Amino acid sequence: MSKLFTPIHIGPYALTHRVVLAPLTRMRAEEGAVPGKLMATYYAQRATEGGLLIGEATSAAANGNGYLGAPGLFDDRQIAGWKNVTEAVHAKGGRIFLQLYHAGRQSHVDVQPDGAQPVGPSAVLHGGVAYTHTGWVPNTPNRALEVSEIEALVESFRGAAVRGVAAGFDGVEIHAANGYLFDQFLQDNSNRRTDAYGGSFANRSRFLLDVTRALIGVWGSDRVAVRIGPSGTWGDMGDSDPEGLFTYVAQQLDALSLAYIHLIEPRVLGNVDDETKDQRPVAAQWIRRHYQGRIIAAGGFKGDSAEAVLQAGDADLVAFGRDFIANPDLPARLQRNLPLNAYDRPSFFGGTEVGYTDYPTHDAAAALAA
């Protein structure tokens, strides 16, 4: 693990290792989409001196959620809950970026304000699901956004970024992958618009780049990041020319001098390995040819494969999801070549401390066994 545990800078921050907590939707927020004490404990458990955590997908607009129990930062009343999280991480010497998202068509009337219809770039039927008080249910068919609504959403993200500063985050990441709203604008199987937000690569990227620039205006470019999923199909996504599209997106983001871009490998579908995909990390290798800044790779990595992608120069850091859920001390376990706890998939989404904050560290488990 020689390179995984070498220091690196992300924007203005000096990190001591390159093991990153991936942004993971856990749906443990309290009423009003407010983070509670349980969430602060969860993030603090996974914080390390000089380590980077990326907070879970957080709705930047009142109509942006697709999952009951997911947090938000579209209301000033949510700031205090997030401040408890950031203070707990900083007390451990860690850094934490906030991931902002909008679910777009990946939603349901039951999680929308006043039961409103979900929105997207175009009204295109798809097979996605949302999480409501009755559990996982098919998404409600969405309507197409008006241009004025798109412009208003840019301001919603700007407002959420301002609240992120007040909440004590170290930076902000835009979630433009996994079939959510930015991804829906980017890929042409979900974007059928014929106006300034549809058609060409430039038009389909407009919303993402407008929001990125708005957040740079709040944070500065070296504390803003973007997550993309080249060739990602989660959420019934697809594009007629994915290589051309995501090459264009990478080149446009490269010009903005961001803190990093965060790439999801297509070998992972949602939170499950996609056995139909090549198991080698291909997205990072491809995007590296077009993006010169920091790259975080995510998607099914283990210690050896993470080290390999760093040694190849295709990525600079690696984000871990499922193994970090089950191993709050994952960096230490990887560095010391210790066995990992198995994760419990049924407790990933929603619930209590079970499957959330009750996974033992290696040293704690060893002490109990002694």
Active site residues: 180
Give 285-292's long-range contacts (Cβ < 8 A, gap of 24+): 285/312, 285/314, 286/230, 286/243, 286/246, 286/247, 287/230, 287/246, 287/250, 287/261, 287/263, 288/313, 288/314, 288/315, 290/247, 290/250, 290/251, 290/254, 291/250, 291/251, 291/253, 291/254, 291/261, 292/254
Please check whether residue 33 is in contact with residue 344, taking contact to mean a CB–CB distance below 8 angstroms. no
Angle (CA) 249 99 279, round 5°: 60
Q: Tokens in use for 316? A: 């600079």
Q: Tokens in use for 271? A: 């939170």
Please check whether residue 175 is in contact with residue 227, taking contact to mean a CB–CB distance below 8 angstroms. yes
Packing angle between helix 79-91 and helix 37-45, nearest 10 degrees?
A: 30
